[in-house]
Amino acid sequence: NTSEYCSSIAISELSADVLRDLPTAQRFALDIGGSLSKIVYQSKRKWRKTFVVYDENTDSHLYSTQELEKEADCLHFIKFETRLLENCLDFIYDNLKGSDGRGLEILRNSPLRVTGGGAHKYRLAIEAKLGCVVEKEDEMTCLVRGCAFMLKHIPGELFSYEHDSSPPCCFADELSDGGEPFLLVNIGSGVSMLKVENETTFTRIGGTSLGGGTFWGLGSLLAGTSDFDELLEIASQGDHRNVDMLVGDIYGSESASSVHGLSADIIASSFGKASKADCKEFSKPDLLRSLLITVSNNIGQLAFLYASRHQLRRIVFAGFFIRGHLLTMRTLTYGVNFWSQGSVKAYFLRHEGYLGAIGAFVRGLEKDRRIGVLTGSWAENLCTSSSFDVGSWQGMAALELDKRKELTDFPLLRDRLDYAPDTWDLSQAAFQSARLNPPPSQDLSAREYWLNCFEASIDRHQQRAVLSQPDSPSAMERGEAFRLAYQNFFKEARANPVAFGQLTVRRILDVQEHCLRESGFPDPFWELKREENEVALGGLQSRLSHLASLPSADLPAALIRGLLGGNVFDWGAGRVAELLAERGKQFGLNEAMEQLQPRPWLVDDLDAWTSRLKAGVYTCAIVFVDNSGCDLLLGVLPFAIDLLDRGVKVILAANHGPALNDVTIFELRALIRRVGSFVPRVADALSSGRLLLAGTGSSSPCLDLRYVSVEVADACRQEQVDLVVIEGMGRAVHTNLYAKFSCDCLKLAVLKMPGWLTGWAAICSQ
Amino acid sequence: NTSEYCSSIAISELSADVLRDLPTAQRFALDIGGSLSKIVYQSKRKWRKTFVVYDENTDSHLYSTQELEKEADCLHFIKFETRLLENCLDFIYDNLKGSDGRGLEILRNSPLRVTGGGAHKYRLAIEAKLGCVVEKEDEMTCLVRGCAFMLKHIPGELFSYEHDSSPPCCFADELSDGGEPFLLVNIGSGVSMLKVENETTFTRIGGTSLGGGTFWGLGSLLAGTSDFDELLEIASQGDHRNVDMLVGDIYGSESASSVHGLSADIIASSFGKASKADCKEFSKPDLLRSLLITVSNNIGQLAFLYASRHQLRRIVFAGFFIRGHLLTMRTLTYGVNFWSQGSVKAYFLRHEGYLGAIGAFVRGLEKDRRIGVLTGSWAENLCTSSSFDVGSWQGMAALELDKRKELTDFPLLRDRLDYAPDTWDLSQAAFQSARLNPPPSQDLSAREYWLNCFEASIDRHQQRAVLSQPDSPSAMERGEAFRLAYQNFFKEARANPVAFGQLTVRRILDVQEHCLRESGFPDPFWELKREENEVALGGLQSRLSHLASLPSADLPAALIRGLLGGNVFDWGAGRVAELLAERGKQFGLNEAMEQLQPRPWLVDDLDAWTSRLKAGVYTCAIVFVDNSGCDLLLGVLPFAIDLLDRGVKVILAANHGPALNDVTIFELRALIRRVGSFVPRVADALSSGRLLLAGTGSSSPCLDLRYVSVEVADACRQEQVDLVVIEGMGRAVHTNLYAKFSCDCLKLAVLKMPGWLTGWAAICSQ
């Protein structure tokens, strides 16, 4: 009995985590496709969050940190087979009803936006089941809106298939800012081709009925199974050359190269060998592979023709047919490359399946004049979202986006489109950096090196997280959850380096933060940071006196050396963390500076920097700070005070959210206020607006300059910043190593190599 | 045992008539496709032919007619399955060897030109078997050359699929003169798309591997049979809507029309229903129909895209995939129309399968600098060629082209591209004439009327043919062969009105002539014509005296009336033939004139003609004459003499070959010489060049002005002809009724309706 079977699947599948926030759901939208459906809903999730607290009116100037629960917006995306739709609606209904009925009330107060072919077919069923009004949203409009949403909010959403890379997915960012029109090819059961000019302007310029449904349908007939993913899996094991008639089969392989200049491998006739009455049995894998290639290649060719007809140089493929399946992407890309001779480029989306659903959601907000709900930026939750599993897709899948502050481009980037935050792409088996040539041989194992390095720190981070909440009875359990989630990431990343988009050190650190936050550990270092800040505050006066005693000619070098020394205090680097934990308060700035390799450092532009500084060319500097304690207070702050003394305005920019022992903007504000109480120059600069403090909008030890807070961007423009200072391995080496700015940039970091600490002081003039 | 099976098929199939001229074969060319192969060979065929004989040097001026055998060039085209290739080569070898080895010697003296994919694969096998050198010819070059050859020599080669017509094939002639570039789409196992600018200039601009091989291959897998034609036959019985996902299936049929403006019938996803795991069995006809539509539609769409990319408005589809199969043509046409919104038009070729082979043949002649072999025109032998069997193709098929004089456009046509020779298209169930609106209701059965009319004459023609060769022992047997062949035509034409291209009265008459000639009866009327000419010659002097006695004002009317009276003597018209046979020599011009309806005739421009004539505006007239005897000598000749008297030069144009009792140019020359002996005005005009005699190049009672002799065309230009006179039902009504000229045209005929003879005298001013 089919319906019983469906319903038993539904119960087990729908009870998954992906629907756990249903009781606080605020809005829904649905995309009902011929075979797969997607739900998007917005919920209020409760997070533990740390708050820095201090009393402005007392003189103690002490600050403390509190953890509180706070609601935040979350967007949930769930994918399931359309045959489970009714069960899914039942599940939703029960959950909304269970939560004191408030959810149902919300649902009934505004129309439910539904897109996809099934919007028409299932309208009455949905209305009857949920008691709401269904409003159908145009599929193509939703698709385009959804595509624009994903490209805007999810970095590394877009990638191209590069056959010579391993894995063959190369992430791009080229369409994220709109720019030039592109062709959006949606491969569902059928195929639609849209010319997209911007998120609201597009035209359907073509399509074909040979789509995903054709592979699925013919594939089911040929293989005797109707499981789409099974069909793809079988196809991946086949050899189409046993089924297709190749150029070589017609012309004879030896002479093929001389005929029409065609390679003998080119398919002359898809399934061309299957008609021969020689009683040969064809294998299912061979047949399915041929079928997949036939359909994909044809779509690629048609897409190229429509792109070229409309002078579009970029094609974005989306729709359930792709499912991250390598062979499909390979053939689509091959088709586009072959027919366009490289003049048109094919791209794919990591979350292609969700475009229609999020589009319907956005359309709903627009129509209800509540678009403000989406204001700001949304970030992929790397802990709760399904990984991007190239080559298969099992049952349900989910994506969660957390709302964050509104973020924007850093205005001092010389060329926004040329900017890529990450220095090394660890996704690639062969270490790749376009600008490092030839790559150092040890970098061939760069991925393993960094994965091992961070995986080895799991225990340490788990321990610190649990210790950070001594009063919580659930801390142990949640610590274990963190470990499992984070370990799972390493397992997936090793099996599939592009499971979460491009694999970079930044990505690994983001996953770590997301897993901690998801396990209820928003800031494991809060107490350590506070303690280190207290120690550093205690040493600031003498540090400033020492610097003041130096001949002015020596000052720039001493400040940079101090800054590098301070940057040793990085609890994110395993080796240093052990050192710091072992030697504790015995290890101060001077000890750190002694550990540093003598000059010249690995990269040593100190002399150039000194002469630039003395030339007095700067008006205002923005300094992206790194660690708390010695780094911030004894390294960066004296450097900043010196700039102020030289008449250069200073903006200190710190993370909004916690990440390792990096200082947050909230801590920074408390600390600088405290410093002001005993360093009048700082108090003056602060009150006169010559010293500014800004939050970057980030919660990462790295820095993606495509996503900085509006506050930072505005300050840079208003203060006419002409010097960018970036500090720390994460911000200046793992990211931004090759970033180019429209003004000078000083990049400072300590490289913590085994048994060796060396400085990295690079000045890049504009 | 497969090879035994093949060989037994080969023996029976290859012994067919289609290879009967092998022993006199002069040249070969081959096109070896993935599934079908084609042979073209040129032979010398022996025909019985009539010759008019007279002695220039005697005074008797009598002429006689002799039948002699004469060799003529013939081009043979044969189509067979590639798996039979080796058997076919054996058969050829044996035949060539059998004919005293001369054929083999010829074959070995110049390379055998072979094209098609298999040219490479089978080269060594062919060389070994036939002992010749194989030279491979580029497929696409051959295809284009072949297409140009067919379009040039075979009128009605090109047709479009018009769904609202019945049968849906509408013959066109629009590409025959080269003109604007077009897209040639060759659907073999795979598909090639060529932009053709002229017969030697083309570019391959696209293609797809989803071609005939894909339908064949996938179709075999789905249906469990590998017979291509069986697959097509099964497909024609299916309903693709059971397999394909339609727009209505997704959107719900009731609301479909409001969505995207798409009809619910449009296929959203080919095979989109086949993936549903509901254990439903799909029927083979439904699956195959869906497959055929999938492949055809896709080719149509790609063809449109490539055409549009290169600004081509016409697409010619060719290749074995089509095989005149209606559903295939319908879907290809639908695809082109749908995607181009009517801006691009799809065409097909009756002999699409032979393009490559004839192309290779032509290329071979070019390379051997023997292109002169093809000089002149080639005409389809309607008796020996396979009919154009829409919807199926059984085993072998053949086409034969007979060489004829070089023919060209009649230079006085006002607009060559606008000219269509035939007045009525009998192919169409609904009588169609673009210019007759509304059509008379009785014309709905026009096809049946004419088919019955001509079929009823078979016995009469058979009898006359046998009687025309009283000394031949085989005449009876050949008369029976004629009857069978001609009857077969009527059977095929009734079953499939487009079996031989557009069905017209002209076509039927051509078939009759071809069947007679093929049965060894080149001129059944030769003795009758001779007798009638003698009788008419005897009455000429008194006819001229009578006309001379008339007041000059009455002369033009008397001449036209005489001309119409003469035109009654038409042995092609059954009713008149009976009358003539019954009353014999008792029935003369005066009796005929009495039978004519009094003025006004059905069309009666006599007064207009008289005033044009009296205005004396003409310099030279060409008169296309019709029947022998009274018609030519008592009707046309006095009319011509009057023109000469008025100072107008006259060209009398008669058929080259015999057709019914129509006078031939050879008879005409003998007769006019005879007349000159007793009518000095005629002898003078002849010797002074004011009266010219020309052969039209035709052997038909009708007149296709796209194909007239170079002699006629040159004379019109040299003599500055400014009056065209066309006489007879066949030349002036069944054809050329709507022909427009760059000078005045007088069209004269007697309409022989049951119990009613009326005149048709139309003057069309330029």
**Is residue B382 within 8 Å of B514, Cβ to Cβ?**
yes
DSSP letters for B42-91? EEEEEEEEEEEE--TTSS----EEEEEEEEEEEEEEEEEEGGGHHHHHHH
List chain B residues with CB under 8 Å of A118.
Answer: 250
B178 has a pLDDT exceeding 60: no
A86 has a pLDDT exceeding 50: yes
Pairing of strands B649-654, B620-624: parallel
In this structure, which long-range contacts are made by residues B98-107, counting pairs with CB atoms below 8 Å and at least 24 apart in sequence?
B98/B23, B99/B22, B99/B23, B99/B24, B103/B22, B103/B23, B103/B24, B103/B25, B104/B130, B104/B131, B106/B25, B106/B26, B106/B27, B107/B25, B107/B28, B107/B131, B107/B132
Q: Which residues pair with B397 in a beta bridge?
A: B79
Cα separation values, B613 from A563, B606, B609, B682, B723, Å: 116, 10, 6, 20, 10
Which of B672, B570, B579 is closest to B626 using CA atoms?
Answer: B570
List chain A residues with CB under 8 Å of B272.
Answer: 34, 189-190, 209, 211, 213-214, 216-217
Residues within 8 A of A (CB atoms), B 213-242 only: 213-214, 216-222, 226, 228
B626 has a pLDDT exceeding 90: yes
pLDDT band at B430 (very low <50, low <70, confident <90, very high): low
Task: Name the DSSP class of B258.
Answer: G
- Shortest distance between the Cα of A210 and any Cα of chain B, in A, equals 6
Cβ of A269 within 8 Å of Cβ of B217? The answer is yes
pLDDT of A501 reads 84
Cα separation values, A590 from A228, A422, A555, A600, Å: 64, 32, 16, 19
pLDDT of B3 reads 37
pLDDT of B183 reads 96
pLDDT of A255 reads 52
**Is residue A346 within 8 Å of A301, Cβ to Cβ?**
no
List chain B residues with CB under 8 Å of A211.
Answer: 269-270, 272
Residues within 8 A of B (CB atoms), A 501-560 only: none
Give the count of alpha carbons within 13 A of B281, CB side only.
Answer: 4
pLDDT band at A15 (very low <50, low <70, confident <90, very high): very low
Query: Across residues B604-609, what is the average pLDDT?
Result: 93
- Cβ atoms within 10 Å of A101's Cβ, excluding its own: 10
Is B618 touching A (CB cutoff 8 A)?
no
Of the candidates A121, A218, A309, which has its C-beta nearest B252's C-beta? A121
Reading the block at residue A155, the tokens are: 């970095």
Least-confidence region, from A188-192, A358-362, B507-511, B693-697: A188-192
Backbone angles phi, psi at B670, to 5 degrees: -65, -40
B730-745: per-residue pLDDT in tens? 999 999 999 999 999 9
Query: Which of the residues B232, B250, B254 would you substitute to probe the A interface, choosing the one with the greatest number of A C-beta atoms within 10 Å?
Result: B250
Cβ neighbours of residue B253 under 8 Å, at least 6 residues apart?
A: B264
**In chain B, % of residues over pLDDT 90:** 49
B561 has a pLDDT exceeding 60: yes
Query: Across residues B450-473, what is the average pLDDT?
Result: 92
Of the candidates B259, B275, B297, which has its C-beta nearest A217's C-beta? B275
pLDDT of B109 reads 83
A630 has a pLDDT exceeding 90: yes
**Is residue A216 within 8 Å of A35, Cβ to Cβ?**
yes
A215-255: per-residue pLDDT in tens? 999 999 999 888 888 898 899 899 999 999 888 776 665 55
pLDDT of A175 reads 54
pLDDT of A1 reads 36
Look at B335 and B691; give whichever has higher pLDDT. B691
**Is residue A243 within 8 Å of A219, Cβ to Cβ?**
no
| Averaged pLDDT of chain B | 86
pLDDT band at A433 (very low <50, low <70, confident <90, very high): very low
Q: Tell me if domain A416-518 and domain A526-764 are identical in fold.
A: no
What residue segments make up the domains of chain A, in order of their start?
A: 2-142+355-404, 155-243+282-349, 416-518, 526-764
Residues within 8 A of A (CB atoms), B 187-206 only: 188-190, 204, 206
B18 has a pLDDT exceeding 70: no
pLDDT band at B60 (very low <50, low <70, confident <90, very high): low
Of the candidates A271, A278, A308, which has its C-beta nearest B214's C-beta? A271
Intra-chain end-to-end CA distance of chain B, in Å? 71
Residues within 8 A of B (CB atoms), A 13-72 only: 34-35
Number of residues that this document lists for chain A: 766
pLDDT of A151 reads 87
Cβ of B268 within 8 Å of Cβ of A213? The answer is yes
Of the candidates B275, B287, B309, which has its C-beta nearest A216's C-beta? B275
Least-confidence region, from A119-128, A738-747, A753-762, B193-202: A753-762
Reading the block at residue B435, the tokens are: 């210019």
Least-confidence region, from A304-308, B352-356, B627-631: B352-356
pLDDT of A394 reads 45
Reading the block at residue A741, the tokens are: 């700015």
pLDDT of B564 reads 94
DSSP letters for B627-686? BTTHIIIIIIHHHHHHHHHTT-EEEEEEBSS--TTBPBHHHHHHHHHHHHHH-HHHHHHH
Query: Across residues A186-200, what is the average pLDDT?
Result: 90
Query: Which of the residues A269, A293, A301, A334 would you substitute to probe the B interface, choosing the one with the greatest number of B C-beta atoms within 10 Å?
Result: A269
- Shortest distance between the Cα of A612 and any Cα of chain B, in A, equals 58
Give the count of alpha carbons within 13 A of A168, CB side only.
Answer: 19
A197-209: per-residue pLDDT in tens? 988 899 989 999 9
A333 has a pLDDT exceeding 50: yes
Is B274 touching A (CB cutoff 8 A)?
yes
Pairing of strands A202-208, A191-196: antiparallel
Domain A526-764: homologous superfamily in CATH = Uncharacterised protein PF01937, DUF89, domain 3 (3.40.50.10880)
CATH code assigned to B416-518: 1.20.1700.10
Task: Name the DSSP class of B111.
Answer: P
B488 vs B474: CA distance, rounded Å: 21
Indicate the class that CATH gives domain A2-142+355-404. Answer: alpha beta
A50 vs A67: CA distance, rounded Å: 4
- Shortest distance between the Cα of A305 and any Cα of chain B, in A, equals 7
CATH code assigned to A155-243+282-349: 3.30.420.40
Cβ of B272 within 8 Å of Cβ of A302? The answer is no
Cβ of B34 within 8 Å of Cβ of A228? The answer is no
| A733 alpha-carbon distance from chain centroid | 18
pLDDT of B735 reads 94
A246 vs A252: CA distance, rounded Å: 10
Give the sheet arrangement for strand B603-604, strand by strand: B603-604, B756-764, B744-753, B723-727, B620-624, B649-654, B691-695
Is A338 touching B (CB cutoff 8 A)?
no
CATH number of B536-764, picked from 3.10.310.30, 3.40.50.10880, 3.40.50.300, 3.20.20.10: 3.40.50.10880
Cβ neighbours of residue B729 under 8 Å, at least 6 residues apart?
A: B567, B570, B573, B701, B749, B750, B751, B752
A581-601: per-residue pLDDT in tens? 788 777 889 988 988 888 899
pLDDT band at A759 (very low <50, low <70, confident <90, very high): confident
- Shortest distance between the Cα of B215 and any Cα of chain A, in A, equals 8
CATH number of B158-243+282-349, picked from 3.40.50.2300, 3.30.420.40, 3.40.50.1400, 3.40.640.10: 3.30.420.40
pLDDT of A557 reads 95
A247-267: per-residue pLDDT in tens? 877 666 555 445 555 677 889
Query: Across residues A455-461, what is the average pLDDT?
Result: 94
Least-confidence region, from A442-456, A479-493, A655-669, A686-700: A442-456
**Is residue A749 within 8 Å of A567, Cβ to Cβ?**
yes
pLDDT of B21 reads 79
pLDDT band at A389 (very low <50, low <70, confident <90, very high): low
Beta strands in A190-234 (DSSP E): 191-196, 202-208
B6 vs A669: CA distance, rounded Å: 93
Cβ of A217 within 8 Å of Cβ of B269? The answer is yes
B162 has a pLDDT exceeding 60: yes
pLDDT band at B436 (very low <50, low <70, confident <90, very high): very low
DSSP letters for B266-287? SEEETTTTTT--S-PPPPHHHH
Reading the block at residue B428, the tokens are: 């169409």
| B678 alpha-carbon distance from chain centroid | 42
Look at A583 and B262; give whichever has higher pLDDT. A583
For chain A, the C-alpha Rg in angstroms (whole number) is 29
B396 has a pLDDT exceeding 60: no
pLDDT of A440 reads 43
Q: At what angle do helices A526-549 and A637-645 cross, to 10 degrees?
A: 40
Q: Is the ipTM of this complex over 0.90?
A: no
Query: Across residues B155-173, what is the average pLDDT?
Result: 81
**Is residue A423 within 8 Å of A434, Cβ to Cβ?**
no
Which ranges constitute the DSSP H helices of A310-354? 326-340
Least-confidence region, from A359-363, A386-390, B650-654, B734-738: A386-390
Cβ of B269 within 8 Å of Cβ of A35? The answer is no
pLDDT of A134 reads 93
Reading the block at residue B90, the tokens are: 């054996």
A489-499: per-residue pLDDT in tens? 999 888 888 88
Q: At what angle do helices B637-645 and B526-548 cross, to 10 degrees?
A: 40
pLDDT of A396 reads 56
pLDDT of B294 reads 95
**Is residue B695 within 8 Å of B663, Cβ to Cβ?**
no
| Averaged pLDDT of chain A | 86
**Is residue B328 within 8 Å of B391, Cβ to Cβ?**
no
Q: Which of A375-379, A401-405, A423-427, A487-491 has the highest mean pLDDT?
A: A487-491
B576 has a pLDDT exceeding 80: no
- Shortest distance between the Cα of B258 and any Cα of chain A, in A, equals 11
List chain B residues with CB under 8 Å of A259.
Answer: 120
Reading the block at residue A405, the tokens are: 């502050």
pLDDT of B438 reads 39
B418 has a pLDDT exceeding 90: no
- Shortest distance between the Cα of A233 and any Cα of chain B, in A, equals 16
Query: Across residues B275-291, what is the average pLDDT?
Result: 82
pLDDT of B213 reads 92
A274-307: per-residue pLDDT in tens? 887 554 679 999 999 999 999 999 999 999 999 9
